[in-house]
C-alpha cells in the first residue's frame, strides 16, 4: 500500500508549534469572512453560559434565605428565574445549531469545491505519483474536521473560557483561599492539556493518511474487480485491506489511550481538589466564616470551572483534528496548478497544426532520462505514426505533445511557438485524444459524446454520431442516445466504446489529433465501422498515431521508429521498407507471425502478405490486420 500523496510520517512533537503557526493563518483566512456569524454565535454562547450560572447561584438563596431564614415568599420568584434561565439556555443552544453548525457545513462544501477544482488543475505528473482513492479521501474527508473549527467547537472553546473566568470571580468572592486551591488545579490541568495536544495531533494526522491509504486501495480493488477475480486474488486483496485496517485500528487505539489517560488524570484531579475543597469548606462553615449556602454554591461554581476546562480538552482534541485536516488540505491547495505556470501565458488562436520536436529529452524523474534528443517535424494536416517496442517512449512523446509534461531539454513547437509558453486552455481546446482505453463516464451516450464540447447543438451531436456510426447501435437501445453506459462504459462493447470516443473527437473538431490505436482485435464489421469514422476524423488534422495496425502505418505521411527513447528511423512505409533497416525487420517479423497465425503451412507463399492487408478505411479484404507492437 503506497503512501498517500503529500504523505510522509506524522510530525514529531518538536515541529508541532511550527506547523500550528503554519496552519493558523489558513484557519483565520476561513474564519475571517465569517466573523459576523462567529460573533453572533459567541453572543449566543455567552447568554447561554450566563444562564447556566443562574441555577447554582439560586441554590445559595434557596438554602440560606428560603430554608435558613424561612423567607418562603422568595421561593416562587427564584424558581421562576431558574425556569426562565433554563428556557433561554435551550433557545440559545437551538440558535447555535441553526447558525454555526449550518455555516460549518457550508464551509465544508466550499472547501471541497475548492480542493476538487484545484486538484483538477494539477499536472499529470502529480497524478502519476498519487493514489486515486487517497485523493478522493483528501477531497471528501480531510475537510470534514473543519466543521469543528467553525461549528460550535471554536465558540464553545471561547464560551468555556468565559464561563471559567466568571466562575473564578464568583469563587474568589466566597473564599480566596479555597479559590487558590482550585486555581492550582486548573494550572495542573492546563499543563496536561498542553501535553495531550502535543501527543494527539500527530496521531490524528497519521490517521488521516492511513484512512486515505486504506480507502485508496479499496477503491482500486473495487475498480479492478475483474483483474482481482481473474487472478483469484480476492484473498490477497482482503489480506492487504485487513493489514490497512489493523494499522488504522492501532492508530485509533492510541488516540483512545491518550484520551482515556487524559480523562483519568482529570478525574483524579477533580477528586483530589473536591476532597480538599470540602475539607476547607466544612471547617469554614463550622467556624462561621461562610454559610452553608456559600459552601454548596462554591461546589457548584467549582463544577462550572472544572466542566469548561474538561470541555476545553475535548474541544481541543476536535480542533487538533480540524487543524490536521486543514494542514493536509492546504498542502494540496498550495501545489501549483499547471495553468498557473508563470511561463504559460502566451495566447494562441486556432493553430494550423504544424508540430516540431527539437532535440527533446525528457525524464519522469531526474535519475532516468527516457527520451534522448528527439527531433522531427509534422506538417499541418499530415499523419505521423509512432512505432517501436514496448517502453520505447511512444506514449511519452504523445504526453509531451499533449503538454501533460514539459521537456527537460529541447523544445516542442506548435506553429513555431514553444508549447511550454502557451496557455494550456488555448492549446488543449484544439487537441483531440482517442485513446486505446476509451474512457467513458457513467452517463448517457449523449453525455459522453458531448463531453468534448458541452455547448454543441443536438444536430451537431447527431452528425458526429452518424459519422462515427454511434447511431447504429444507439438506435437499437430502447432509450437511444439517453442510454446510460455504466461506469467506464461497461455496458458497451469495446468497439461501441471506441465509436463513442471517435464521435466525441469529431465533435471537438481538433486541429491536432492524438490516436492511440486499439490493439484488441475487433470483429471485422466493427473494425470497418471504426475505420470509416477514423478516416473522417483524420481528414485535415495533424494526427499522431501510436500505431498497431499496418493499415494506419501504410497510410501515414511519416513513420517514426522509436527505440530506447531515440528516433532510429523516419520515413514513409515504402521508404522504410526499401531501406531494409529496423522498420523492415519489425515489419517482416510481424508478417511472419501473422502468416503463422492465420495461414495454413505453405499457403502464405502464394502471394505477398502485405497485399492482403486492408488499407485504412478501405473495407475490402477482411484479413485481420497484423499488429505492429
Ligand atoms: P508501450 O508501447 O508499452 O505503451 P511506450 O513506447 O509507449 O510503451 P512509454 O510509456 O513512453 O513507452 O515509456 C517509456 C519509458 O518511460 C519506459 O521506460 C517507462 O517505464 C517510463 N515511464 C512511462 N511512464 C512513466 C511514469 N509516469 N513515471 C516514470 N516512468 C515512466
CATH number for the domain including 420? 3.40.50.300
Q: Please report whether residue 590 resides in a domain.
A: no
Determine the angle formed by the axes of helices 102-120 and 132-140, rounding to 10 degrees.
Answer: 150
Tell me the per-residue pLDDT of 545-583, one tens digit each, with 9 for 90 and over. Answer: 887 766 667 888 999 999 999 999 999 999 998 988 888
Residue nearest to atom 14 of ligand 1 (CA): 393
Q: What was the pLDDT predicted at 12?
A: 35
Banded model confidence at residue 10, pLDDT cuts 50, 70, 90? very low
Least confident of 212-226, 369-383, 594-608: 594-608
| Nearest residue to 507 (alpha-carbon basis) of 466, 556, 546 | 466
Banded model confidence at residue 607, pLDDT cuts 50, 70, 90? very low
Q: Pick from 572, 605, 623: which residue ends a domain?
A: 572
The CA-atom distances, in angstroms, between 470 and each of 478, 498, 541, 586, 616 are 14, 9, 21, 35, 19
Domain membership of residue 556 as a residue range: 357-572
Determine the distance separating the centroid of ligand 1 and the alpha carbon of 331, expressed in angstroms: 28
Q: Please report whether residue 121 resides in a domain.
A: yes
Q: Please report whether residue 580 resides in a domain.
A: no
Q: What was the pLDDT predicted at 417?
A: 92
499 close to 559: Cβ distance less than 8 angstroms: no
Q: Pick from 533, 552, 572: which residue ends a domain?
A: 572
Task: Evaluate if residue 430 carries a pLDDT over 80.
Answer: yes
Which carries the bigger pLDDT value, residue 309 or residue 276? 276
DSSP-derived secondary structure for 88-102 = HHHHHHHHHIIIIIH
Mean pLDDT of 453-466: 88
- Would you state the torsion angle of the CA atoms of residues 389, 395, 396, 402, taken in this order, to the nearest 10 degrees? 160
Q: Please report whether residue 91 resides in a domain.
A: yes
Among 126, 127, 370, the mutation site with the greatest number of ligand 1 atoms within 8 A of its Cβ is: 370
C-alpha cell at 69: 431564614
Q: Please report whether residue 13 resides in a domain.
A: no
Helix (H, G, I), strand (E, B) or coil at 372: strand
CATH number at residue 63: 1.20.1560.10
Query: Scanning the structure block, which residue is given the C-alpha cell 474541544?
Result: 315
C-alpha cell at 493: 462493447
Mean pLDDT of 220-227: 80
Query: Scanning the structure block, which residue is given the C-alpha cell 494506419?
Result: 552
Determine the distance separating the centroid of ligand 1 and the alpha carbon of 337, expressed in angstroms: 23
CB of 130 sitting under 6 A from ligand 1: no
CB of 391 sitting under 6 A from ligand 1: yes
Distance in angstroms between the alpha carbons of the first and the last residue of the chain: 32
412 close to 418: Cβ distance less than 8 angstroms: yes
- Would you state the torsion angle of the CA atoms of residues 479, 481, 486, 488, taken in this order, to the nearest 10 degrees? 170
Residue nearest to atom 23 of ligand 1 (CA): 396
For residues 296 and 375, state if they share a domain.
Answer: no
Least confident of 269-273, 504-508, 579-583: 269-273
Query: Phi and psi of 560, rounded to 5°?
Result: -100, 125
Among 125, 392, 563, 628, the mutation site with the greatest number of ligand 1 atoms within 8 A of its Cβ is: 392
Residue nearest to atom 19 of ligand 1 (CA): 391
Q: What is the pTM of this model?
A: 0.68
CB of 394 sitting under 6 A from ligand 1: yes
Residue nearest to atom 20 of ligand 1 (CA): 391
Q: Pick from 555, 572, 589: which residue ends a domain?
A: 572
CB of 162 sitting under 6 A from ligand 1: no
277 close to 182: Cβ distance less than 8 angstroms: yes
- Strand 409-414 versus strand 368-378 pairing type: unpaired
Banded model confidence at residue 476, pLDDT cuts 50, 70, 90? confident
Degrees to nearest 5, angle at CA 90 with 87 and 96: 140
Banded model confidence at residue 338, pLDDT cuts 50, 70, 90? confident
Which atom of ligand 1 is nearest to 397's Cα? 11
Which atom of ligand 1 is nearest to 398's Cα? 11
For residues 385 and 301, state if they share a domain.
Answer: no
For residues 145 and 273, state if they share a domain.
Answer: yes
Q: What was the pLDDT predicted at 314?
A: 66
Which atom of ligand 1 is nearest to 128's Cα? 27
Task: Evaluate if residue 248 carries a pLDDT over 90.
Answer: yes
Determine the distance separating the centroid of ligand 1 and the alpha carbon of 166, expressed in angstroms: 68
Q: What was the pLDDT predicted at 522?
A: 55
266 close to 190: Cβ distance less than 8 angstroms: no
Say how many C-beta atoms besides its own lie within 10 A of residue 290's C-beta. Answer: 18
* Residues ≥6 apart with Cβ < 8 Å to 616: 531, 534, 535, 549, 551, 552, 554, 555
Residue nearest to atom 10 of ligand 1 (CA): 395
For residues 81 and 205, state if they share a domain.
Answer: yes
Distance CA 277, CA 271 (A): 10
Q: Please report whether residue 394 resides in a domain.
A: yes
* Residues ≥6 apart with Cβ < 8 Å to 527: 495, 521, 625
CB of 446 sitting under 6 A from ligand 1: no
For residues 276 and 365, state if they share a domain.
Answer: no
Q: What is the mean pLDDT of the chain?
A: 80
CB of 436 sitting under 6 A from ligand 1: no
Instruction: State how many domains the chain has.
Output: 2
* Residues ≥6 apart with Cβ < 8 Å to 447: 441
Q: What was the pLDDT predicted at 582?
A: 87
For residues 397 and 330, state if they share a domain.
Answer: no
483 close to 477: Cβ distance less than 8 angstroms: yes
Determine the distance separating the centroid of ligand 1 and the alpha carbon of 51, expressed in angstroms: 69
Banded model confidence at residue 41, pLDDT cuts 50, 70, 90? confident
481 close to 465: Cβ distance less than 8 angstroms: yes
The CA-atom distances, in angstroms, between 571 and each of 266, 555, 579 are 81, 12, 9
Q: Where are the beta strands (DSSP E) in 233-333?
A: none
CB of 128 sitting under 6 A from ligand 1: yes
Determine the distance separating the centroid of ligand 1 and the alpha carbon of 355, expressed in angstroms: 22
For residues 135 and 191, state if they share a domain.
Answer: yes
Distance CA 258, CA 254 (A): 6
Distance CA 178, CA 298 (A): 9
C-alpha cell at 173: 468572592
CB of 399 sitting under 6 A from ligand 1: no
For residues 367 and 330, state if they share a domain.
Answer: no
Mean pLDDT comparison of 263-267, 286-290, 354-358, 509-513, highest-scoring range? 354-358
Alpha-carbon Rg for the chain in angstroms: 36
Tell me the per-residue pLDDT of 56-97, one tens digit each, with 9 for 90 and over. Answer: 889 889 998 899 888 889 899 999 999 999 999 999 988 888
DSSP letter (8 states) at residue 70: -
Helix (H, G, I), strand (E, B) or coil at 428: helix
Which secondary structure element, helix H or strand E, spans residue 65, and what is its range?
Answer: none
Q: What was the pLDDT predicted at 212?
A: 81
For residues 387 and 534, state if they share a domain.
Answer: yes
Banded model confidence at residue 138, pLDDT cuts 50, 70, 90? confident
Task: Evaluate if residue 598 carries a pLDDT over 60.
Answer: no
Among 130, 389, 394, the mutation site with the greatest number of ligand 1 atoms within 8 A of its Cβ is: 394
Q: What was the pLDDT predicted at 362?
A: 94
Banded model confidence at residue 628, pLDDT cuts 50, 70, 90? very low
The CA-atom distances, in angstroms, between 603 and each of 166, 588, 599, 606 are 102, 17, 6, 6
* Residues ≥6 apart with Cβ < 8 Å to 209: 3, 4, 7, 10
Which atom of ligand 1 is nearest to 629's Cα? 2
Distance CA 111, CA 121 (A): 16
Beta bridge partners of 369: 363
For residues 91 and 194, state if they share a domain.
Answer: yes
For residues 249 and 289, state if they share a domain.
Answer: yes
Distance CA 504, CA 495 (A): 14
Helices (H), 132-233: 132-140, 146-150, 152-174, 176-223, 225-230
For residues 297 and 361, state if they share a domain.
Answer: no
Mean pLDDT of 349-378: 91
- Strand 558-563 versus strand 431-434 pairing type: unpaired
Q: What was the pLDDT predicted at 612?
A: 30
Q: Where are the beta strands (DSSP E) in 415-501?
A: 417-418, 431-434
Amino acid at each position: 500500500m503506497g503512501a498517500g500523496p503529500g504523505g510522509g510520517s506524522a510530525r514529531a512533537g518538536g515541529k508541532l508549534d511550527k506547523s500550528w503557526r503554519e496552519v493558523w493563518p489558513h484557519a483565520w483566512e476561513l474564519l475571517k469572512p465569517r466573523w459576523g456569524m462567529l460573533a453572533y454565535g459567541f453572543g449566543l454562547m455567552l447568554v447561554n453560559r450566563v444562564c447556566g450560572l443562574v441555577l447554582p447561584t439560586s441554590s445559595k438563596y434557596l438554602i440560606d434565605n428560603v430554608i435558613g431564614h424561612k423567607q418562603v415568599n422568595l421561593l416562587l420568584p427564584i424558581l421562576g428565574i431558574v425556569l426562565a434561565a433554563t428556557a433561554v439556555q435551550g433557545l440559545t443552544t437551538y440558535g447555535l445549531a441553526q447558525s454555526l453548525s449550518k455555516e460549518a457545513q457550508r464551509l465544508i462544501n466550499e472547501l471541497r469545491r475548492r480542493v476538487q477544482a484545484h486538484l483538477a488543475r494539477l499536472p499529470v505528473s502529480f497524478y502519476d505519483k498519487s493514489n486515486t482513492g487517497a485523493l478522493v479521501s483528501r477531497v471528501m474527508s480531510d475537510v470534514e474536521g473543519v466543521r469543528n473549527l467553525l461549528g460550535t467547537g471554536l465558540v464553545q472553546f471561547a464560551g468555556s473560557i468565559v464561563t471559567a473566568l466568571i466562575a473564578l470571580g464568583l469563587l474568589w468572592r466566597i473564599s480566596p483561599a479555597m479559590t487558590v486551591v482550585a486555581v492550582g488545579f486548573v494550572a495542573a490541568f492546563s499543563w496536561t492539556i498542553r501535553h495531550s495536544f502535543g501527543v494527539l495531533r500527530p496521531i490524528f494526522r497519521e490517521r488521516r493518511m492511513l484512512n486515505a491509504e486504506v480507502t485508496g486501495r479499496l477503491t482500486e480493488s473495487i475498480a479492478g474487480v475483474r483483474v482481482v477475480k481473474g487472478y483469484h486474488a480476492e484473498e490477497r486483496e482482503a489480506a492487504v485491506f485487513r493489514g490497512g485496517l489493523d494499522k488504522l485500528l492501532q492508530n485509533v487505539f492510541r488516540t483512545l489511550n491518550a484520551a482515556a489517560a487524559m480523562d483519568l488524570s482529570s478525574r483524579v484531579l477533580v477528586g483530589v481538589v473536591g476532597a480538599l475543597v470540602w475539607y476547607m469548606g466544612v471547617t469554614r462553615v463550622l467556624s462561621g466564616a461562610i454559610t452553608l449556602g456559600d459552601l454548596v454554591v462554591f461546589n457548584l461554581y467549582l463544577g462550572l470551572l472544572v466542566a469548561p476546562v474538561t470541555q476545553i480538552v475535548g474541544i481541543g482534541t476536535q480542533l487538533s483534528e480540524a487543524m490536521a485536516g486543514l494542514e493536509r488540505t492546504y498542502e494540496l491547495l498550495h501545489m501549483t496548478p499547471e495553468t498557473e505556470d508563470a511561463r504559460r501565458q502566451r495566447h494562441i488562436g486556432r493553430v494550423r497544426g504544424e508540430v516540431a520536436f527539437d532535440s527533446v529529452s525528457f525524464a519522469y524523474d531526474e535519475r532516468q532520462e527516457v527520451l534522448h534528443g528527439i527531433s522531427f517535424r509534422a506538417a499541418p494536416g499530415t499523419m505521423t505514426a509512432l512505432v517501436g517496442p514496448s517502453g520505447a517512449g511512444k506514449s511519452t512523446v504523445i504526453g509531451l505533445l499533449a503538454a501533460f509534461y514539459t521537456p527537460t531539454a529541447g523544445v516542442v513547437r506548435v506553429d513555431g511557438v514553444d508549447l511550454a509558453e502557451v496557455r494550456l486552455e488555448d492549446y488543449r481546446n484544439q487537441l483531440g485524444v482517442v485513446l486505446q482505453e476509451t474512457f467513458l463516464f457513467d452517463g448517457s451516450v449523449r453525455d459522453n459524446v458531448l463531453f468534448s464540447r458541452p455547448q454543441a447543438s443536438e444536430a451537431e451531436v447527431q452528425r458526429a454520431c452518424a459519422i462515427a456510426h454511434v447511431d447504429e447501435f444507439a438506435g437499437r437501445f430502447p432509450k437511444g442516445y439517453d442510454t446510460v453506459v455504466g461506469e467506464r462504459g461497461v455496458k458497451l462493447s469495446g468497439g461501441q466504446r471506441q465509436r463513442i470516443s471517435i464521435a466525441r473527437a469529431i465533435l471537438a473538431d481538433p486541429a491536432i489529433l492524438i490516436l492511440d490505436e486499439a490493439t484488441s482485435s475487433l470483429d471485422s464489421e466493427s473494425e470497418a465501422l471504426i475505420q470509416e469514422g477514423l478516416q473522417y476524423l483524420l481528414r485535415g488534422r495533424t494526427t499522431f498515431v501510436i500505431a498497431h495496425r499496418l493499415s494506419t502505418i501504410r497510410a501515414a505521411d511519416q513513420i517514426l521508429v522509436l527505440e530506447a527513447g531515440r528516433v532510429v528511423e523516419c520515413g514513409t512505409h515504402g521508404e522504410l521498407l526499401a531501406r531494409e533497416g529496423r522498420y523492415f525487420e519489425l515489419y517482416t517479423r510481424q508478417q511472419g507471425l501473422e502468416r503463422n497465425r492465420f495461414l495454413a503451412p505453405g499457403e502464405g507463399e502464394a502471394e505477398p502478405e502485405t497485399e492482403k492487408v486492408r488499407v485504412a478505411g478501405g473495407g475490402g479484404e477482411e484479413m485481420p490486420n497484423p499488429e505492429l507492437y
